[in-house]
Amino acid sequence: MSLQLYVLRINEGREPSPFVWRARLALRHKGLDYERVPIGYGEKDRLGPSGQGLVPVLVDAGRWIHDSWAIACHLEDAWPDRPSLFGGEAGRGAALFVNRWADVEMLGALRLLLWPPTWDHIPIADQPYFKADRETKASMTLDAMREDADGKIARFRRTMEPARQTIQRQRFLGGERPGYADFAVLGGFLWARSISELRLIERDDPLHRWRADVLASVGDFPLGEPGHAL
């Protein structure tokens, strides 16, 4: 078996992409060994064979697969005997909804909070690209994004309410076992952890218990120090 995962790596070995974290958690859940291939923002031409320029990209025996959801589906279909990411077809459908909710609502609330500190940790040569790209996407400057951090954290905490209510009734987002719905959401927290020491959730938030349980489920997962992913 030969698996390679292309990941985004910035200063001090930080890996900020929430989508890459999803893929790493899924590979770990499946118990699959793989090689991580780090690239910088200026090296996306190395993803050429995938036909696009975003990470994560998984290369499985010469086949290039891009998009974190497509990677999760590939892992589930190619290794059906390993621990399931979805727990069946109905679970796959529900996990897709959670994945899209996390893309739109959760990451939507996190972007304005996390793009500025991500920029702080990007090699100087790549900063102009990142600044122009993210400022266009957000229709505001990175400096403007830095304003009202408390308001943005409050919005993020409200956004997490459906997840909070779910894990107060069951152990994981998909039920009693961890799975891809959990990894899709945890990816956002691991992005935050990789580039900041922001307290995204309050000390007594039930999401702490859930986060710890998801991480425990993947065993000895290399996270590094707070503020330093790996």
Ligand X SMILES: N[C@@H](CCC(=O)N[C@@H](CS)C(=O)NCC(=O)O)C(=O)O
Q: With binding defined as CB under 6 A, does residue 56 bind ligand X?
A: yes
Q: In whole angstroms, how close is the CB of 215 to ligand X at the nearest point?
A: 20
19 binds ligand X (CB under 6 A): yes
Instruction: Locate 169 and state its tokens.
Output: 């009734």
CB 174 within 8 A of CB 95: yes
Give the contact letters, 113-142, x = binds to ligand X (CB under 6 A), - = no: --------------------x---------
Q: Which is nearer to ligand X, 55 or 73 (CB)?
A: 55
Strands (E), the chain: 3-8, 35-39, 57-60, 63-66
**Is residue 54 at the binding interface for ligand X, with CB under 6 A as the rule?**
yes
20 DSSP 8-state letter: H
Tokens of 48: 């050429």
What kind and span of H or E run contains 182?
helix 180-195
Closer residue to ligand X (CB): 56 or 91:
56
When binding is defined by CB under 6 A, the residue of 5, 7, 8, 59 that contacts ligand X is: 8
Binding region for ligand X (CB under 6 A) out of 31-39, 54-62, 145-153, 175-183: 54-62
- The window from 49-57, 86-94, 169-177, 196-204 that contacts ligand X (CB under 6 A) reads 49-57
Of 51, 170, 188, whose CA–CA distance to 110 is shortest? 188
**HEC per residue, 124-144:** HHHHHHHHHHHHHHHCCCHHH
List the one residue out of 221, 3, 40 whose CA is nearest residue 125: 40
Per rule CB under 6 A, count of chain residues that contact ligand X: 12
List binders of ligand X among 65-94 (CB under 6 A): 67-69
Residue in 11, 41, 201, 227 binding ligand X, rule: CB under 6 A: 41
- Whether residue 47 contacts residue 41, with contact meaning beta carbons closer than 8 Å, is answered with no
* Residues binding ligand X (CB under 6 A): 8, 17-19, 41, 54-56, 67-69, 133
